[in-house]
């Protein structure tokens, strides 16, 4: 059974500098050749101050920015080898560009246990991470549902 | 990197109608090398995406792709359609596992047009399916588009 007393708990804040090379690398792996994600010159020619974050670039904020993310999950009792990614949702509040310095705070907003058809139990956790930039502007809300079998 | 790839054309609110289909995006087959690259790029080093032995051990039969890679494909579909800073909301639910050699096709439909927070917005649904039609991920989005003459 998931320990419901953990709901509402926030992990310590983390900071992450959005890197041009990381946006480039992520989109190479995805196979997205849009020049805006690979060249500062192309981005500026199109009127952007620098390379913009692509829609799923925030995944790099979480994994590279919060090196202790897995540790925090273990600390609230999650068996990380048994995690399945159920849902991911982003709310984009302001554009994010290479060079921005973001601060993220992740909160466990929901957690419950559910019985599967075969009688085994699984936990369903909802985490929300709110990001602000170097000007103190809120730029992104990321909501994630993790299923732990 | 060379930038021979063309910039997507700019789309205006007036160009989009409810019921419109977003031009399909057919991705190259998923490869092991791609998952290794995606692990390094994203920072998600869960070995079940890169190490076949772990996949066997967990009884899922080999490695499976990161769900976020599939969401990345859908993100490409959307950013080609509305541009990189137009999305206001984008969420997906992961429906089934993607394996090596799967060919993912992304598609989407416009479901709504409206004005909110001083912006002209469109909403729609998207999905990613494999070569057998199995749904890997499905979701929804909201984007803001410029109006002509503004």
Is residue A78, in this structure, part of any structural domain at all? yes
Per-residue pLDDT tens over the stretch B9-23: 789 999 999 999 999
Measured between CA atoms, the residue of chain A closest to residue B69 is A30
Under the banding of pLDDT at 50, 70 and 90, the label for residue B2 is very low
Is residue A59, in this structure, part of any structural domain at all? yes
Section A76-86 average pLDDT? 87
- From the list A46, A64, A95, which residue is nearest B7 (CB)? A46
Decide if pLDDT at B144 tops 50: yes
Q: Which helix (H) or strand (E) holds B82?
A: helix B67-82
Chain B residues within 8 A of A26 when measuring between CB atoms: 38, 41-42, 72
The answer, for B94 touching chain A at a CB cutoff of 8 Å, is: yes
- From the list A48, A63, A89, which residue is nearest B42 (CB)? A63
Measured between CA atoms, the residue of chain B closest to residue A86 is B94
Under an 8 A CB cutoff, do B34 and A26 touch?
Answer: no
Per-residue pLDDT tens over the stretch A40-55: 999 999 999 999 999 9
- From the list A55, A60, A63, which residue is nearest B75 (CB)? A55
Chain B residues within 8 A of A53 when measuring between CB atoms: 84
Is residue A76, in this structure, part of any structural domain at all? yes
Is residue A31, in this structure, part of any structural domain at all? no
Is residue A137, in this structure, part of any structural domain at all? yes
Residues of B (98-127) whose Cβ lies below 8 Å from A = none
Under an 8 A CB cutoff, do A53 and B84 touch?
Answer: yes
Pairs of CB atoms within 8 A across A/B: 131
Under an 8 A CB cutoff, do A39 and B1 touch?
Answer: yes
Measured between CA atoms, the residue of chain A closest to residue B76 is A32
Six-digit token pair at B23?
A: 């031009």
Classified by CATH at the fold level, domain B17-145 comes out as: Thiol Ester Dehydrase; Chain A (3.10.129)
Under the banding of pLDDT at 50, 70 and 90, the label for residue B1 is very low
- From the list A29, A54, A90, which residue is nearest B79 (CB)? A54
Given a contact cutoff of 8 angstroms between Cβ atoms, the answer to whether B27 and B106 are in contact is yes
Q: Give the structural domain span for A109.
A: 4-19+54-148
- CB within 8 Å of A55: residues ≥ 6 apart: A90, B71, B72, B74, B75, B76, B78, B79, B84, B87, B90
Given a contact cutoff of 8 angstroms between Cβ atoms, the answer to whether A142 and A90 are in contact is yes
To the nearest whole angstrom, how far is the Cα of B67 from the nearest Cα of chain A?
7
Which CATH number is A135's domain given?
3.10.129.10
Annotate B18-77 with three-state secondary structure: CCCEEEEEECCCCCHHHHHHHHHHHCCCCHHHCCHHHHHHCCCCCCECCHHHHHHHHHHH
Quote the number of domains for chain A: 1
- In order of A21, A121, B80, B96, the CA distances from A52 in angstroms are 12, 42, 13, 30
Calpha distance B2→A73 (Å, rounded): 40
Q: Where are the domains of chain B?
A: 17-145
Per-residue pLDDT tens over the stretch B57-99: 877 778 999 999 999 999 999 999 999 999 999 999 999 999 9
Calpha distance A41→B2 (Å, rounded): 11
Decide if pLDDT at A119 tops 70: yes
* Mutation site, A29, A71, A82, A120, interface B, largest B CB count within 10 A: A29
């Amino acid at each position: 059974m998931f320990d419901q007393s953990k709901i509402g708990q926030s992990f310590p804040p983390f900071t992450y500098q959005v890197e041009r090379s990381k946006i480039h690398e992520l989109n190479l792996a995805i196979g997205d050749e849009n020049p805006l994600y690979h060249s500062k010159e192309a981005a500026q020619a199109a009127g952007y101050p620098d390379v913009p974050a692509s829609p799923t670039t925030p995944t790099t904020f979480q994994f590279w920015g919060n090196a202790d993310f897995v540790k925090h999950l273990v600390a609230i009792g999650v068996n990380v080898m048994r995690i399945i990614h159920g849902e991911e949702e982003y709310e984009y509040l302001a554009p994010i560009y290479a060079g921005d310095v973001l601060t993220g705070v992740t909160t466990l907003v929901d957690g419950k246990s559910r019985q599967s058809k075969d009688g085994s139990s699984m936990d369903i956790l909802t985490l929300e991470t709110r990001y602000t930039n170097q000007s103190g502007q809120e730029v992104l809300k990321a909501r994630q549902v993790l299923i732990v079998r | 990197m060379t930038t021979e790839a063309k910039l997507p054309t700019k789309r205006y609110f007036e160009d989009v109608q409810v019921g419109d289909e977003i031009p399909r995006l057919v991705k190259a087959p998923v490869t092991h090398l791609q998952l290794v690259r995606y692990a390094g790029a994203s920072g998600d080093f869960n070995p079940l995406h890169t190490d076949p032995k772990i996949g066997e051990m967990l009884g899922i039969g080999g490695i499976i792709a990161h769900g976020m890679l599939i969401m990345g494909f859908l993100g490409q579909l959307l950013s080609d359609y509305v541009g990189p800073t137009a999305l206001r909301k984008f969420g997906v639910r992961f429906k089934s596992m993607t394996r090596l050699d799967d060919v993912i096709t992304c598609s989407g439909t416009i479901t709504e047009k409206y004005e909110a927070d001083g912006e002209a917005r469109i909403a729609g649904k998207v999905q990613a399916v494999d070569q057998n039609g199995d749904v890997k991920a499905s979701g929804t989005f909201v984007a803001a588009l410029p109006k002509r003459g503004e």
